[in-house]
Structure 1
Amino acid sequence: MAQQDSAPAAAASPRDPRIDARTRRGRLQMLMLLLVCASPVIASYFTYYVIKPRGGATNYGALVDPQRPMPPVRVTDEQGQAVPLEQFRGKWLLVSADPSACDEACAKKLFTIRQIRAGQGQDRLRIVPVWLVTDDGKIDERLAAAYNEPYAGVRFLRIDRQAAQQWLPAEPGKRAEDTLFLVDPLGNLMMRFPQDPDPKKMSGDLKKLLKVSRIG
Structure 2
Amino acid sequence: MSGSNSSAPGSATSSPEPLTFAVHSLPDPRTTGQQRVGRWKMLLVLAMCAAPVVASYFTFYVVKPSGSAYGELIAPTIDMPADLSLTDLQGRAVAPASLRGQWLLAVVHGSDCPAACERQLFVQRQLREMLGKERARVDKLWLIPDTGTPRPEVMAAVSQKGAEVTMLRVPKDRLDAWLKPAPGKALADHFYIVDPMGNWMERAPAEPEPKKLKADLDKLLRASASWDTAGR
Q: Which segment is superposed worse, 92-101 or 74-83?
A: 74-83
Matching of residue 47 in structure 1 with residue 59 in structure 2: yes
Deviation at 1:96, TM superposition (A): 0.6
Partner of 1:63: 73
- Quote how far apart the aligned CAs of 1:24 are: 7.1
Counterpart residue number, 2:16: none
Q: Secondary structure of 1:205's match?
A: helix
Question: Per-residue deviation at 1:44?
Answer: 2.1
- Rg (Cα) greater in structure: 2
The 5 A counterparts of 1:1-216 are 32-54=44-66, 57-73=67-83, 74-78=85-89, 80-214=91-225, 215-216=228-229
Answer whether contact 1:111 1:147 (CA < 8 A) is retained. no
State the identity as a percent: 43
> 1:101: how far off?
1.3
Residues 71-97 of structure 1: CA distance to partner in whole angstroms, max 9, x if unpaired?
113422355431211111111000111
After superposition, the CA RMSD in angstroms is 3.1
Matched to 2:130, the amino acid is G
**2:69 alignment partner, SS class:** coil
> TM-score under structure 2 normalisation?
0.76
Q: Unaligned 5+ residue runs, structure 2?
A: 1-21
CA distance in 1, matches of 2:197, 2:159: 24
Q: Hey, what's the Cα distance between the residues in 2 that align with 1:177 and 1:25?
A: 54
TM-aligned CA distance change 1:102 to 1:51, over 3 Å: same
Question: What whole-Å deviation, never above 9, does each CA across 1:151-199 have from its counterpart, x for those lacking one?
Answer: 0221111112111111102101112221111001111111111342222
Distance 2:145 2:27 in 1: 58
- Counterpart residue type for residue 101 of structure 1: D
- Distance in 1 separating the partners of 2:28 and 2:117: 65
Taking the aligned partners of 2:193 and 2:153, their CA distance within structure 1 comes to 26
Q: What letter is aligned with 1:61?
A: G
In 1, Cα distance between equivalents of 2:178 and 2:37? 37
CA distance in 2, matches of 1:189, 1:129: 14
Alpha-carbon contact 1:148-1:156 (below 8 Å) kept: no
Distance 1:24 1:163, change over 3 A: farther
Q: Quick one: structure 1 residues 20 and 51, their matched pair in 2 at CA, closer, same or farther if it must change by over 3 Å?
A: same
Greater alpha carbon shift after TM alignment, 35-44 vs 85-94: 35-44
State the number of aligned residues: 214
Per residue, is there more helix in 1 or in 2?
1
Amino acid at match of 1:181: Y
**Alpha-carbon spacing, 1:15–1:124, altered in 2? closer, same or farther (3 Å):** same
User: Corresponding residue for 2:7?
Assistant: none
